[in-house]
Structure 1
Amino acid sequence: MNLEHLRAFYILADHQSFSETAKILHLAQPTVSMQIKHLEQSLEATLFERTTKSVKLTPSGEILYKYADQIFSLVKQTEKELDSLSETIHGDLDIGASLTIGEHILPYVLGQFRKEYPNIQMKLKVYNSEQIMEHLGNDDIDLGFIESTKSYPDYDQLAFLEDELVVTTGTSASSPVPPQKQTIAPEELFEFPIIMREPGSGTRQVVEQHLKNNGLYPEKLDVIMELEHTESIKSAVESGLGIMIISRNAIQKELELGTLREIPINGIRLRRFFYAVYSKDKLTLPGETFLSFIQNYYLNEKFQL
């Protein structure tokens, strides 16, 4: 049995799409079709029921999938144990991080990690939280770092850092919040134009959940603009277009420069945790090493808001 053909089968069974499988494997779609055909011929079994709309496992395919799952778990475990025999930890580590974590939390930590483990080749890609879970499911990344409050029962989740979201406005004369206003009541959030992250971002999910938990209705917010990048939102708020709710980690420089200011909400603190998300059975030795490193890093730094 050809392992490459078996991998194509395994991914196709998960995603039920030849085009998606080809994309994940970086192959042409006809190549994937040919690999599946060769696998079926070698096993003398039909593995998929094909229709114009879907691809489903046959009973024979279900049996093969069960053992393929065990095979690839063993392959990962074998690689991990062989790597552990080496004097130096090496290999590739692909990380996906949500915007706040990827831009304001991880870069410095990755720099420190690189000093201790120079033989681990790292790649960091920034997505929103929902996109990270999609890439994790496609095995495009080894570790995901998200801000979402959602639970993902198919994955292991580890809270590694506490964060606080704060209502923020610009300090220019065009700011919608008068300079003498130092705090706001919860219901006053609905009186100011607000600039938000796009649906699907962890920050937005946390904000909406906190509002609901405090008897407030997120749909009543006067959202005048949705932007995908934190820097764009900060620039819009600095220019006086509206307020924002953002991680304090993301506005340290602007607070120091005086171009932005926090406005506490009376009686409410928007606390959350940042999470590492991964599949324990698939995590490589470089992934395990980084996960342990980031836990110890923030434990030692006592980096908590």
Structure 2
Amino acid sequence: MNLQQLRAFSVVAQQQSIRGAAPILGLSQPAVTRLMRELEKSVGAVLLHRSSQGIELTEFGHALLKRAHLILEEVRSAQDELDQMQDGAGGTLDIAISSTAALSIFPRALRTFRQRMPRVELSIAESSPPSTQDQLASGQLDFAIVNELDDHPADGFNRQILFSTQLIIVGRKGHPLRHAVSIAELRDTLWLMPGFGYASTDFLERMFRENGYTAPQDVIACSSLVTALSIVENSDALGMFSEAILGTLRRTGAFSAITTAEPLPAARVSLVTRDNGRPTPAARCFIECLRDASTR
């Protein structure tokens, strides 16, 4: 087993086709086929199953793919670290950030980071649990900034709390329930819970039940902030957003907060890294910039 075989295997699995993988790898189809056969011989197991729908991974293939992603990302990280040690500024950095972080500390941290390491090739995605955690576990992300509701997530990642933010119920301007004084009055409307993953629906149910009310039945866990805002703005749906997001929404004049008697909880904005991963110099620099920005 070698890195060339693992790279080819990863691309074949992604494309579900040797024909589709060949041009990406810069190899001929027979060359990719040979690499796959050599890899299967090396591990002593069938990794690929060919069907009319394309190539599918066997049970052994799925197991190896998880490890292959980690190995390839560690190799990339090692190369980045060496590059950054040599010239102090090169390499790549792949991160995911929550909308709350993007609208608060991230711009300051990014300015400082670009001043310190201007030549790092940076890729930024919107944090979208639970897929963000999956990408982090596989090594596709160097780190992530996520909004969290659970006090003690048991997922094996390292966490640093950057800051906490109050959650606020938001509806469109002129919402028929804008004068509600209790969450009990909001039970029968559609709820959008963006940015927290599927656990947010459980969280909303718990919040209602802890106050002695029946939980809402129509709740959508929406990973896209833009989609959630569009639905809230153009319907009678309600959303639960952070203070940082509400500040931006108020400037549009299209949204308003609904204040209820029951206290609403706060969410944590956490920096999440792999437990067994050593951050590259670029990742360590950006993490330091985020910490500094969160204390201002």
Q: Any idea what SS the aligned residue of 2:185 has?
A: helix
Please show how residues 1-305 of structure 1 align to structure 2 within 5 Å: 2-7=2-7, 19=15, 27=25, 33-39=33-39, 43=42, 46-48=44-46, 55-57=58-60, 75=75, 78-79=78-79, 82-83=82-83, 85-86=85-86, 88-102=88-102, 106-149=106-149, 151=153, 153-172=155-174, 175-178=175-178, 181=179, 184-191=181-188, 193-197=189-193, 201-202=195-196, 205-206=199-200, 208-212=202-206, 215=209, 220-223=216-219, 229-238=224-233, 241-256=236-251, 258-279=253-274, 280-281=276-277, 283-299=279-295, 301=296
Question: Cα–Cα, structure 1 residues 69 and 188, in superposed 2: closer, same or farther, change >3 Å?
Answer: closer
Query: Contact 1:129–1:147 at 8 Å: present in 2 too?
Result: no
Distance 1:207 1:270 in 2: 14
Q: Any idea what SS the aligned residue of 1:252 has?
A: helix
Q: Any idea what SS the aligned residue of 2:36 has?
A: helix
Q: Any idea what SS the aligned residue of 1:215 has?
A: helix
Question: Cα–Cα, structure 1 residues 117 and 278, in superposed 2: closer, same or farther, change >3 Å?
Answer: same
Q: What amino acid sits opposite 1:205 in the alignment? A: A
Question: Cα–Cα, structure 1 residues 288 and 81, in superposed 2: closer, same or farther, change >3 Å?
Answer: same
TM (normalized to structure 1)? 0.69
Query: Contact 1:97–1:146 at 8 Å: present in 2 too?
Result: yes
1:38 offset after TM fit, Å? 2.4
Query: Contact 2:167–2:242 at 8 Å: present in 1 too?
Result: yes
Q: What is the number of equivalent residue pairs in this alignment? A: 280
Distance 1:81 1:228 in 2: 32
Query: Contact 2:117–2:282 at 8 Å: present in 1 too?
Result: no
Question: Cα–Cα, structure 1 residues 153 and 235, in superposed 2: closer, same or farther, change >3 Å?
Answer: closer
Per the alignment, residue 53 of structure 2 pairs with none
Question: Cα–Cα, structure 1 residues 120 and 190, in superposed 2: closer, same or farther, change >3 Å?
Answer: same
Question: Cα–Cα, structure 1 residues 102 and 265, in superposed 2: closer, same or farther, change >3 Å?
Answer: same
Query: Residue deviations 1:32-55, cap 9 Å, x none?
Result: 5532322455x5x62446667752
Query: Contact 2:84–2:91 at 8 Å: present in 1 too?
Result: no
Distance 2:245 2:202 in 1: 19
For the aligned residues, what is the CA RMSD? 4.3
Q: Any idea what SS the aligned residue of 1:273 has?
A: strand
Q: What amino acid sits opposite 1:185 in the alignment? A: S
1:77 offset after TM fit, Å? 7.2
TM (normalized to structure 2)? 0.71
Distance 1:186 1:293 in 2: 39
Identity of aligned residues (%): 17
Q: What amino acid sits opposite 1:276 in the alignment? A: L
Distance 1:155 1:135 in 2: 12
1:78 offset after TM fit, Å? 4.9
Distance 1:270 1:33 in 2: 55
Q: Any idea what SS the aligned residue of 1:125 has?
A: strand
1:286 offset after TM fit, Å? 1.2
User: Which region of structure 1 is more displaced relative to structure 2, 108-117 or 118-127?
Assistant: 108-117
1:131 offset after TM fit, Å? 2.1
